[in-house]
Amino acid sequence: MQFKQGTSVYTVDDKEVGRIDRVVIDPATLEVTHLVIRKGLLLTEDKVVPIKLVEQAAEDRVVLKSSEDGLNLPNFEEAHYLSADAINEPGAAEPAGYIPPLLAYPPAGTAWWGSSGAVVPPPLAPAAVVERNIPEGTVALKEGAAVISANGEHVGNVDEIFVDEESKRATHFVISKGLIFKSKKLVPTSWVTKTEEDKVHLSLRTPALDKLPNYEAQV
């Protein structure tokens, strides 16, 4: 299976449901668990597709096992709000994705003090908590994530991911370098030492990577 950012995703009844935006990967095992697909151009909506729903995947087209009517995909990110009291309870830990609220000041001309002369602090707005509908510990690899060599140099960007159909484990990355005349290299995932959302780190140094033959996609 091949997963390339921007590739169109279709249902089994040939309805386009979006384009690949991210590939969700377990950095410990390199297993691909989900795809994040983006729907729409102006009013975008990101949805999570379990890898088990993928029937076939090529560089130019991904087909799901489900029909459009039977497809019910969760949002990639969902926001909900907690009251300031819930966050400020003694011993309460800040939840994952917690965004501290700004202080809410009273309207102009409104006194901050009561009749006793004591200063009344402004009320706190509800705290936003953003949660992602992907397995804990996985990484949603961004489009064009930077590839960093063992000597700390930026040597290209992730262009495509090859995944074993049975194990669902990522086997190779295609990395590209250049703006107009791009050169591409095929890198085994066994050379990957660390995977982050926007970076992939390699055990290979830049000179050794430069000596790899250019990758040419098979037509």
pLDDT in tens, 63-111: 999 888 888 888 988 876 666 555 555 555 666 555 565 554 555 555 5
Tokens for 74? 């969760």
- The residue-averaged pLDDT of 116-134 equals 65
pLDDT at residue 158, rounded to an integer: 94
| Angle, CA of 9, 15 and 17, to the nearest 5° | 45
Name which of 43-47, 88-92, 199-203 the model is least confident about: 88-92
Confidence of residue 26 (pLDDT cuts 50, 70, 90): very high
Contact yes or no for 186/171 (Cβ under 8 A): no
Q: Could you state, in order of their start, the residue ranges of all structural domains in the chain? A: 2-64, 77-106+119-132, 142-210
Going by C-beta distance under 8 Å and a sequence separation of 6 or more, which residues neighbour residue 32? 3, 23, 24, 25, 26, 51, 161, 163, 168, 169, 170
Confidence of residue 23 (pLDDT cuts 50, 70, 90): very high
pTM over 0.85: no
Q: Sign of the C-alpha dihedral, residues 10, 11, 15, 18?
A: negative
- Tell me the CATH number for domain 142-210: 3.90.50.10
Dihedral angle over CA of 159, 155, 145, 137, nearest 10 = 110
Residues forming a β-bridge with 127: 82
Give the CATH architecture of domain 2-64.
Answer: Roll (2.30)
pLDDT at residue 77, rounded to an integer: 84
Residue 20 has pLDDT above 60, yes or no: yes
pLDDT at residue 207, rounded to an integer: 93
Rounded Cα gap, residues 1 and 97, in angstroms:
32
